[in-house]
Amino acid sequence: MNEFATQKRLAPELVEIDSRHEGQRIDNFLTTYLKGVPKSYIYRVLRRGEVRVNKARIKPSYRLQERDVVRIPPMRRGEPATVTAKPGDKLIELLNNSILYEDEGLVIINKPAGIAVHGGSGISFGVIEILRAARPQAPLLELVHRLDRDTSGCLVIAKKRSALRHIHQLLREEGIEKRYLALLQGAWQGGARQVTAPLRKNVLQSGERVVRVAEDGKPSQTLFRPLRRWKGASLMEVMPLTGRTHQIRVHAAYLKQPIAGDDKYGDADFNRTMQAKGLRRLFLHAAGLHFTNAAGKSIDVSAPLDPALQQVLDTLGDE
């Protein structure tokens, strides 16, 4: 049954929002509700003010509240695009075996490298689609945050709208402690160091996202702490104190000690050297999370390092 079927319809083009969708952006709500309608058209009717909430014009970023009344203009809905690829049993089993923590409001997995967090841009499906396929009866499964496709480690998925709102608030207030492991180029000098270079996100004509250090960028803070050093590389514990796109990767490159395997911000010679030692991906792993959930429980989760990355460290250790 369509999840919206139980929502009270006040008129053919009016929808009353229930608690499951409280806090959701209106553009994301419409994308799900209006299956088969292109996103470009949805944003067009939003800009024109044809979509109203409680009879008022709203922006695409407006977050719905319980009992909001959304007016949706008449529009022709095409058939949803045919999706032939579906997550296979092996992928579903892989994610089921990657669960690190679960309660009634959320689930945390150790995301494998190489799997995107969601489908799109030529990717048929990602973590969220695989989990939804594994749990077809789940009323809600939503990504709380994102990890790059080549980054492994702790990823939080909300099972309740209230849990999603709570963790989003923690993220805005920097109330979640995130710990990463990264292998950086060169031998780190000294102890812990905090980088505060502001970051600006640009989109190239090709559509590729590129983040640069810029004076007019958003404030960004990353703490680097050395764990182990070799002649040509250093294993670091990295704590992003803000949550900007590609923050750790760009700040590492800003220090002229980019992350091993980073083909966007890294050093090609260093990447080839590490590839010869068995590295086949970006050496960035979300190793741990610590926060307090909506019920006041302290959550402390650690994700074991990918064996392939551990093997690279073992190779360096033999030098």
The string of DSSP codes covering 138-184 is -S--EESS---TT-EEEEEEESSHHHHHHHHHHHHTT--EEEEEEEE
Task: Based on the residue annotation, tell me whether 148 is a catalytic residue of this protein.
Answer: yes
DSSP-assigned beta bridge partners for residue 109: 99, 155
Long-range contacts of 35-38 (CB under 8 A, 24+ apart): 35/77, 35/80, 36/77, 36/78, 36/79, 36/80, 36/81, 37/75, 37/77, 37/78, 38/78
- Beta-bridged to residue 236, according to DSSP, are 182, 226
Of residues 18, 27, 148, 216, which has the active-site annotation?
148
Give the Cα separation of 294 and 271 in Å (integer). 42
- Contact call for residues 225 and 237 (beta carbons, < 8 A): yes
DSSP label of 35: T
Strands 222-229 and 233-240: antiparallel
Write out the catalytic residue numbers. Answer: 148
